[in-house]
Amino acid sequence: MSSFYNNRLALFLFSAPTLILFTLFVVYPLFPQIRISFFDHDGINYNGFVGLDNYRDVLHSSEFWHSAYNNVKIVLISTFVGLPISLLLALVLDRMSPGIRRYFRMTSFMPAVLSVTVIAQMWIAMFEPRFGALNQALSTVGLGDLKRIWLGDPETALPSVAFAFLWQYIGLNMVLFYTGIKSIPKTYYEAALIDGAGFFQTNVRIVLPLLQEVVKFVLVISVIGCLRQFEHVKMMTNGGPGSASRTVIYELYYRAFNMYEFGVGSVIAILFVVACLLITFMINNLVAREKMEF
Amino acid sequence: MVRNINRGVLKAVLIVLGIGWIFPLIWMVLISFKKPGEVYGSPFRLPKQWIFDNYPNALKSFDFTLYFTNSVIYSVGTILITLILGSMFAYCVARMNWKFKSVALSYVALGLIIPAQVTIIPLFMLLRSLHIKDTHLGLILPYSAFALSLCVMMLYAFFRTVPKEMEEAAIMDGCNVYGAFFRIILPIIMPAIATQIVLIFMNTWNEFFMAFILTGQEEFRPLPIGLLNFFVGRGTPEWGMIGAVMVVSSVPTILVYLGFSEKIENALTAGAVLK
Amino acid sequence: MRNRTKWIGLLALVFLLLMQVACGNGKSGGNNAEPGKSSTGQSETGKSEASEEPSQETKQEPVKLKLMMHVADDTRKAIAQMMKDRLAEKLPGYEVEFELVGTATDWENKLRTYNVTGDLPDVFYMAGAPSFPIIKAGNVIDLTSYIQEDGFAKKYSDPAVLAPASDGKMYAMPEGFDFYFNPRLFYNKDIFEKYGLDIPKTYDELLAVSKTLNDKGVIPMVVPAKDFNGAGLFLNIVMMMLDNPQTVLDLNDHKIDWSDPKVIAALNRVKQLVNEKVLPEGVVNLDYGAAANLFATKKAAMYAAMTWDLSSIEKTPDVDFMLWPQVNPAVDPNSVTMYWGAPNSGYAVSSKSKHIAEAVKLAEYAAEISSFGFTEIGKSPSALKTDAKMDMSDLAKRNLEQFDQTTIKVPPLALNLGSKMFSEYLKLSSSLLTGQYTGEQFAKDIAKPWEEEKKGSK
């Protein structure tokens, strides 16, 4: 038996291709970035070693901190608004008849299935200040005061984009939670129901503790997804107005590709990866007792 | 009684939410039958006059077959490579005895947090020096590499739930490790593989950024890029045609999702996705 | 815990190994741009007929070249098709692979990436800010001697079009017509008639007319602002020009700064257009298509646009253009305009091309076809003479007449900015369109890149 699991050749054949492919196309391209981050680099030439100047530049740049702050906002909104909604929907869904469940599973995934281009274009039309459905609906129900120039106002641009993003993935997260709930053996519930526990009691006492691992997984995936946010911002507002709705990745893209400061862009890239590692580490250690293999 | 009312209200809320989610779909289909002028001014109403010509016109001026074929090649290629490599790797991490297995797993999981935007330029140069830039492989390999992280993590979780007795029985029957893996273990985790097929397919089919930068030639471009060019690249935008193109290019993802959705549920509920 | 240490150790090892590979590779990049090596598409390749020469034994391999251009508008789409169709006849023995990019943004991104990776095609269309880093990297050749020797320079009727870059070299084959593009204020005659409105002659009249239009539920004016940043690319400059053309010239020559009161006043006037609802709410997010659409469907009364759109704009019935409303009584709007062409705009030849002489020929061919196409389809006059028949509409004729009679033509300031300054300038211009950002703030925020720009130019 142990020889079966110790087969060196098989081990090599099974693990090497993945490690090589992954290292080559995902990890390796990171390293030139590290080198570039210590140089004044315009994308073509190394214009001299500048030590930590690029790092200083980024850390003193209000634009960078603004974009980081935007990311934090998106993460907070999705963690404290989006995920609870998804979880609640999943819990409710579990109590529904099979027909409704089926319908809801189908529809909730739709936004995640469609391409970002389509979703972004639709939300642009929704948010359009004059003809858009949102402002028109607000007028109709007599809440005209709440009308905004959603994507064109520095105050509302980021929340609007974040909302579109959130909306797109609420369904996906719900399905993940739901399948987690499904994997909890029915006997646990039955025991609780016999005790006379209601919807909330059952969930708080039984389902949530058992769902820890799923919650953690969804949390990591969703937080990282929020941090990586680029496409929605690019398509819906171009980071604007001004730089109001930029995220870190957008800022990185702008500094490197628009301003030709590849050294600075690399610094942002490195800080980004480090931040992601830290955050994942924190979630792993703070959210649940058991460690997730990550 | 109160319970029933609550249930009814909840049901209604869920149905409305569901409609909200398929709204983009409805929106797209509506646009595809509208005249250009109607789209911007009243985006969410039914067309005053149904224009059916948008579809044939769009397909005429948009090389759908080319982009579609490319998208299929990229998706299928990525799915195959990711699943074969990913399942083997996940298996040897979950089952085999070696010192660095948890390190290796964490290492591959890194892929979840490395955004492609960060590494696009070195990636571009790498593809060129490997002489696979502007080939189908030039996009399939990076796609697979990035898709491996999630695939490995998920399959790893599944392998851990498969009882060891399965392999023991296989060995008794005289299987070696390869036979056990391909003939016994893989079929067991088929639901998980189905899930991965859908997830990888959706990500690859809709991937935009890498495809945009890394495909230099029209003949290798997938749908999202073709779609975008069609979108903005019109003098006076013919929204009806844009809508038609969007609908046509979204159909495959929707079909794949609908076809596999039952499998996904089975896979996910088959247990312990994430433990 | 033990795992973590191993993990770090492994990473460090991989890191060290890869640093070696990474550094080695970074330097070697750039020389692999073999035009013939990349596989050529059947659909995209204009294959030339085999040479008809009787001496078959010296059967020549066709020259394989790659050409990239954007086809963001219908005219350029048609031009690209013409280039493919006529290749065999005009340039026998050439096999050209066309990379056609659908939008201006994509094209800019492509140029940037290719410039960085050294993959620029043999011939490519470049213009404005993206051209500076390409020139700086030495990735394009100076065309001056080539077009003097083969006489192509003589085909340009106006030598002004051949104006070199600031270093005296010519990096792009001008298409000849972009000089004639100018910012125009188009309007829907029927809307003005319907509400009995007069064409606004002054800025104040414009504000008054807009108020009436708003009351009637019509958007007074639209301008594309999202993907094509109309405010930054022409509206700001038009406002400066209407106040005093010298301001634009001075700013272009770095004689004054953005903190100059005249500049600030002009920027604030753009802000005012938003605050007074001349431009609609959310104009900052109005993309090209949406702006054109609002005007064409008569939802907007006026459309500030560049005249390359004239041929598609005039498809809308009852359209005309008006002079820009007078801002300063001392400046007659009939006497000033902004031209578009800038040095370094046109078809450039990559310095890494394996067939430079042939690539120059191809660039000349591309410029000629473009000029031909824009004259015949786009109804635009061109300084690069071709045998195109120009069948100008009445509107196009009047546009040209008006353009010709202006005595002061200010340069397209934005196109002359370096890439860093250009990016920041466009970004801040979009802020102006929110109506919450003042010219003073603009001047303050642009100061740093502007100083760098001035330093760099010396």
CATH number of the domain at C63-179+342-385, please?
A: 3.40.190.10
Which backbone phi and psi does B168 adopt, to 5 degrees?
-60, -40
Contact A130, A106 (CB under 8 A): no
Dihedral Cα A261, A267, A270, A275, nearest 10 deg:
-120
How far does C242 lie from chain B, in Å, by closest CA? 29
- What DSSP designation does C98 have? E
Minimum mean pLDDT range among B53-67, B128-142, C21-35, C227-241: C21-35
Distance CA C288, CA C161 (A): 28
Residue C122: its pLDDT value, please? 94
β C300-306/C183-188 pair status? antiparallel
Helices C419-432 and C439-457 pack at an angle, to 10 degrees, of 170
- Our CA-based measurement puts residue B225 at a distance from the nearest CA of chain A, in whole angstroms, of 10
Mutate to test the interface with B, among A2, A3, A4 (most CBs of B within 10 A): A4
Residue A210 confidence (pLDDT) above 50: yes
Per-residue pLDDT band at B3 (split at 50, 70, 90): low
In 3-state terms, what secondary structure has residue C100? strand
Q: Do B219 and C43 touch (CB under 8 A)?
A: yes
C43:B228 CB<8 A:
no
From A263, A287, A215, select the one nearest A36 (Cα to Cα). A263
Q: What is the DSSP string of C49-90?
A: PPP--S-GGG-PPPEEEEEEEE--SHHHHHHHHHHHHHHHHH
The answer to whether the CB of C160 falls within 8 A of the CB of C179 is yes
- Helix (H) / strand (E) element for C421: namely helix C419-432
**pLDDT score at A108:** 81
Residue B21 counted as domain residue:
no
- Cis ω before A241 (30° cut-off from 0): yes
Token look-up 């925020």 returns: C445
- Residue B50, in any domain of the structure: no
- Nearest CA to C67 among C114, C18, C27, C30? C114
CB contact under 8 A, B206 and A179: no
Chain B contact set for C5 (CB, 8 A)? none
Per-residue pLDDT, A293: 41
Is residue B60 within 8 A of residue B125, CB to CB? The reply is: no
Give the best residue of C21, C275, C279, C285 to mutate against chain A (max A CB count within 10 A).
C285
Indicate whether A57 pLDDT > 80. Answer: yes
What are the boundaries of each domain within chain C?
A: 63-179+342-385, 183-338+398-457
Phi, psi of C344 (to 5 degrees): 70, 15
Is a pLDDT exceeding 90 seen at residue A47? no
- Of the candidates C227, C308, C221, C319, the residue with the CA atom closest to the CA atom of residue C270: C221
Scanning the structure block, which residue is given the tokens 């659909």? C43
Closest CA to A234 of A255, A214, A256, A251: A251
Put simply, the chain B residues between 77 and 136 with a CB less than 8 A from any chain C CB are 99-100, 102-103, 106-107, 120-122, 124-126, 128-129, 133-135
Which secondary-structure segment (H or E) carries C419? helix C419-432
Q: Which fold has domain C183-338+398-457?
A: D-Maltodextrin-Binding Protein; domain 2 (3.40.190)
Cβ <8 Å between B107 and C113: no
C8 CB-near residues (< 8 Å, 6+ apart) = none
Closest CA to B89 of A7, A15, A11: A15
Residue C38 confidence (pLDDT)? 35
Which chain A residues are closer than 8 Å to C113 by Cβ? 257
3-class DSSP state of C137:
coil
A213, two tokens: 């691992």
Q: How far apart are CA C377 and CA C123, in angstroms?
A: 23
Is any Cβ of chain C less than 8 angstroms from the Cβ of A240?
Answer: yes
**CB half-sphere exposure, C196, CA atoms < 13 A:** 0
> Hey, which residues 222-261 in chain B have their CB within 8 Å of chain C?
228-230, 232-237, 239
A241 part of contact set with chain C, CB < 8 Å: yes
Q: Provide, as residue numbers in chain A, all residues whose Cβ is less than 8 Å from the Cβ of C430.
A: 238, 240-242
Q: Which of A56, A249, A280, A102 is nearest to A165 (CA)?
A: A249
- Residue contact B126–C25, C-beta within 8 A: yes
Cα(A137)–Cα(B35) distance, integer angstroms? 24
Least CB–CB distance from C289: residue in B41, B100, B234: B234
DSSP secondary-structure letter at C126?
A: E
φ, ψ dihedrals at C306, nearest 5°:
-85, 150
- Tell me whether residues A260 and C21 touch, CB distance under 8 A: no
| Chain C contact present for B187, CB below 8 A | no
Q: Where are the alpha helices (H) located in C118-258, listed in sequence order?
A: 131-136, 144-149, 189-194, 203-215, 230, 236-243, 245-252
**Is A27 close to C281, i.e. CB distance below 8 A?**
no
Whether B26 has a pLDDT exceeding 60, the answer reads: yes
Contact criterion met (CB < 8 Å) for B206 and A96:
no
CA distance C67 to C114: 13
Q: Given the cut 0.90, state whether the ipTM is greater than it.
A: no
* Tokens (6 digits) for C321: 């253009």
Given CB atoms, is C28 within the 8 Å cutoff of chain B? yes
pLDDT at B42: 64
pLDDT recorded at residue B140 = 95
Chain C from 270 to 329: CB within 8 A of any B CB: 287-290, 292-294, 296-297, 299, 309, 312, 315
Give the distance from CA A163 to its chain's centroid.
12
A interface test, pick of B118, B205, B250 with most A CB neighbours within 10 Å: B118
Q: How many domains does chain B have?
A: 1
Residue of C133, C281, C285 lying closest to A43 (CB–CB): C133
Cα separation, C223 vs C207, whole angstroms:
16
Give the rounded distance of the alpha carbon of C276 from its chain centre: 29
What is the extent of the structural domain holding B158?
61-269
Rg (CA), chain C: 25
For helices C261-275 and C236-243, angle between their N-to-C axes, nearest 10 degrees = 120
Residue found under tokens 């546009």: C399
Residue A130: partners with Cβ closer than 8 Å, 6 or more residues away: C219, C280, C281, C282
- Collapse the DSSP code of C40 into the 3-class scheme (helix H, G, I; strand E, B; otherwise coil) and give the result: coil
DSSP A254: I
- Among A80-84, B127-131, C127-131, which range has the highest average pLDDT? A80-84
Contact in structure between B15 and A103 (CB atoms under 8 Å): yes
Distances in whole angstroms, Cα of residue A167 to Cα of each of A133, A154, A174, B22: 16, 21, 11, 12
Distances, alpha carbon B36 to alpha carbons A117, B30, B40, B50, B170, in Å: 19, 12, 8, 12, 64
Q: Is C74 on the interface with B (CB under 8 A)?
A: yes
Mean pLDDT rounded to a whole number for chain A: 83
Show me where the domains of chain A are located: 48-286
With left for phi above 0 and alpha for psi between -120 and 50, is residue A157 left, alpha or beta? Answer: alpha
Contact B39/C293, CB-based, under 8 Å? yes
Instruction: Average the pLDDT over each of A22-26, A100-104, C93-97, C212-216 and give the range with the smallest value.
Output: A100-104
Q: Token digits for A200?
A: 């909330």
Per-residue pLDDT of chain C (458 residues; tens, 9 = 90+): 444 444 444 444 444 444 333 333 333 333 333 333 333 333 333 334 443 444 444 456 788 999 999 887 778 888 999 999 999 888 988 999 888 887 777 788 788 778 877 789 999 999 877 888 888 888 999 999 999 899 898 888 877 778 788 788 899 998 888 888 899 999 999 999 999 999 999 999 999 999 999 999 999 999 988 877 888 999 999 999 999 999 999 999 899 999 999 999 999 999 999 999 999 988 998 887 788 888 988 999 999 999 888 888 888 899 999 999 999 999 999 999 998 877 788 999 999 999 999 999 999 999 999 999 888 887 778 888 888 887 788 898 899 999 989 999 998 999 888 888 999 999 999 999 999 999 999 999 999 999 998 887 53
What was the pLDDT predicted at B2?
A: 54
pLDDT value, residue B238? 66
Rounded CA-CA distance A181/A214 in Å is 9
Q: What's the rounded Cα separation, in Å, for the pair C446 and A151? A: 24
pLDDT in tens, B171-200: 777 778 888 888 888 887 877 788 788 888
Say how far apart CA A78 and CA C406 lie, in whole Å.
Answer: 57
Sole residue written with tokens 């298409």: C175
Min mean pLDDT across A2-6, A133-137, C180-184 is at A2-6
Q: For chains A and B, what is the number of CB pairs under 8 angstroms?
A: 253
C219 in contact with A, Cβ within 8 Å: yes
Q: What is the CA radius of gyration of chain B?
A: 23
Q: How far is residue C141's CA from residue A30's CA, in Å, rounded to a whole number?
A: 33
Instruction: Tell which residue, C289, C279, C402, has the closest CA to residue C338.
Output: C402
- Least confident span in A28-42, A111-125, B220-234: B220-234
The confidence score (pLDDT) of residue C60 equals 65
User: What is the residue type of C258?
Assistant: W
* C-alpha to C-alpha distance for B51 and C138, rounded to whole angstroms: 52
Q: Which strands make up the sheet holding C346-349, listed edge to edge?
A: C45-46, C94-101, C63-70, C123-126, C346-349
Instruction: Among A94-103, A244-253, B195-204, C380-389, name the most confident range.
Output: A244-253
Counted residue by residue, chain C has a size of 458
| B253/B255 Cα distance (integer angstroms) | 5
Is residue B45, in this structure, part of any structural domain at all? Answer: no
Residues of B in contact with C7 (CB under 8 A): 103, 106-107
Q: What DSSP state is assigned to residue A138?
A: H
Minimal Cβ distance to C23: which of A35, A44, A240 = A35
pLDDT at A238: 86
Report the CATH architecture of A48-286. Orthogonal Bundle (1.10)
